[in-house]
Amino acid sequence: MRTQPGVSLTYGLVEALGQAIVTGEYATVGFPTEGELSKQFGASRTVTREAVKMLTAKGLLSARPRHGTVVEPENEWNLLDPDVLRWLLERKFSLRLLAEFTEMRLGIEPAAAALAARNADEAGLEEIRKGLRRMKSATEGEDDPLSADIAFHIAILNATKNPFYRELHEMVNTALRISIRFTNRIKGRTASIPSHEDVAEAIIARDADKASAAMRLIIVDVLELIRAASPSTESEAARRQA
């Protein structure tokens, strides 16, 4: 394993170790000591200790008496942590995990759209308009479809003016990058502009019920697409993502 270039030693070590933990590299051999990690990665004890602390905060590791640092079972991992979620989604392509994430979106984003319709100020509405304009530009090859789609959804979370919804933006950003990439491959096209227009127009019109319903339609469509995907489709998507 090697840390990635262009990032700090600590974060590079967190990335390398996080990926290794999630892929099961330490399932049978046990987690290394700080000294072993320092030697393996050429990092100082301070960097190694900080990386282990960060992974412990993410629920991946814990220190146990007489056992040292050990890898926690998967049900203890913090799935709301963007890094953990990304490592899981990239570990082994999983329609089940994508479906579970989309079910969570179904419980969050329609309510966020309704709240944005009630609470968004002009700056928030403009960010939603901007996201929609970017999506339209992407259809003409003038923007990245994936980034534009994510920007639209993040703008709605921010427009709620609710700090708890805003705190979800990193997690949604992380998971949507994989989810949208996959669903677009199945459809052979990018996101539906009219469907997103319906959401934006309802929010701008301050129609909370319509905004919620329009967002729900978008996510239900994605969920049905994932559930209908065949095992062969999953294998092909995994092959392309590799």
**Whole-number Å distance between alpha carbons of 159 and 119:** 7
Q: Which residue has the higher pLDDT, 64 or 187?
A: 64
Query: Model's pTM, two decimal places?
Result: 0.74
Q: pLDDT band for position 137 (50/70/90)?
A: very high
The whole-chain average pLDDT of the chain stands at 86
Virtual torsion, Cα 29, 32, 33, 35, nearest 10 deg:
130
- Minimum mean pLDDT among 1-5, 91-95, 132-136, 174-178: which range? 1-5
pLDDT of 240 higher than 80: no
List all residues 6 or more positions away from 15 whose beta carbon is below 8 Å from its beta carbon: 3, 4, 7, 83
Q: What is the pLDDT of residues 5-42, one digit of tens each?
A: 445 889 999 999 999 999 899 988 889 999 999 999 99
CB 157 within 8 A of CB 115: no
**Whole-number Å distance between alpha carbons of 79 and 82:** 8
pLDDT the model gives residue 242: 46
Q: Where are the domains of the chain?
A: 9-76, 93-241
Evaluate whether the domain defined by 93-241 bears CATH number 1.10.357.10: no
Q: Evaluate the CA torsion angle 89, 90, 92, 95 in order and state its sign.
A: positive
pLDDT the model gives residue 9: 86
pLDDT the model gives residue 79: 84
**Whole-number Å distance between alpha carbons of 233 and 55:** 33
For residue 6, what is the enclosing H or E element? none
And the tokens for 171? 């997690």
In CATH, what is the architecture of 9-76? Orthogonal Bundle (1.10)
pLDDT the model gives residue 241: 47
pLDDT of 169 higher than 50: yes
pLDDT the model gives residue 239: 52
Average pLDDT on 163-173 reads 85
